[in-house]
Amino acid sequence: MSGNIEGKVVVITGASSGLGEATARHLCAQGASVVLGARRVDRIQSLADELIRGGGKAVAVGTDVTRYDEVKRLVDTAVQTFGRVDVMINNAGLMPHSPLERLKIEDWNRTIDVNIKGVLYGIAAALPYMKQQKGGHIINVSSVAGHKVRPGSAVYAATKSAVLMLSEGLRQEVKPYDIRTTVISPGAVDTELPDSITEPDVADNIHKFYQAYAIPAESFARTVSFAISQPPEVDVNEILFRPTRQEL
């Protein structure tokens, strides 16, 4: 599976924990150079140091995905350090579930800023380089919630549905440049995502659900690896996966 991964330069947002951290470890072990972006600089620097000690290539760049200049700096650093950017993984996300009637407007704004604008900024930062290279791969992270909405998840689901539409629009637009696009929609995966819920009763229910059903973050990392490892003429556009026991 790793035949098309070794030597690739991969930028990952939200790399300080969960899906991003697991993916960085997995791809680095297969020979990719990883450029780690997240707000928790100490976490990504520690991860980068660990990967380098293990013989890998890694760089950490403090990144708030709600700021385009910081996302651009992340991708620029990848190119300055390794000469190109082959894969952009727009992974950073929030999931502050709450019923709409509670009017958690600040949560709504943060969710939109991270889950939609953060993806757009990642695309904007990587696309010029990939166009110039005549190749690359943009991977966006949606969710099962982008396909199914439940009470209390309306805003989160709306942002993840938006990621699906952005990814499909991008797919159609980048054909002249031989750029591949993948959108991945995970179900319950063991990450810190439930910790972003600010309503205690909602958080308690979601944590119980994750404790009962969530699968390891490495499941996502293997999915990313599958998409990247395909030969250049194969474009895996969408992957939806869940824990086997998850009904939603």
| Catalytic positions, written as ranges | 156
Read off the tokens for 81.
Answer: 């350090």
What angle (nearest 5°) sits at the alpha carbon of residue 234, between those of residues 233 and 238? 145
Decide the pairing of beta strands 9-13 and 87-90. Answer: parallel
Cβ neighbours for 168, distance < 8 A, ≥ 6 positions apart: 183, 237
As a whole number of angstroms, the distance between CA 150 and CA 152 comes to 6
Torsion sign over Cα 122, 118, 185, 159: negative
Strands (DSSP E) found in 29-123: 33-38, 57-62, 87-90
As a whole number of angstroms, the distance between CA 146 and CA 188 comes to 13
Could you give the 3-state DSSP secondary structure of residue 35?
A: strand
Cβ atoms 177, 129 nearer than 8 A: no
Q: At what angle do helices 18-29 and 41-53 cross, to 10 degrees?
A: 20
| Backbone dihedral angles phi then psi of residue 179, each to the nearest 5 degrees | -95, 135
Which 8-state DSSP code applies to residue 241? E
Read off the tokens for 152.
Answer: 């209390």
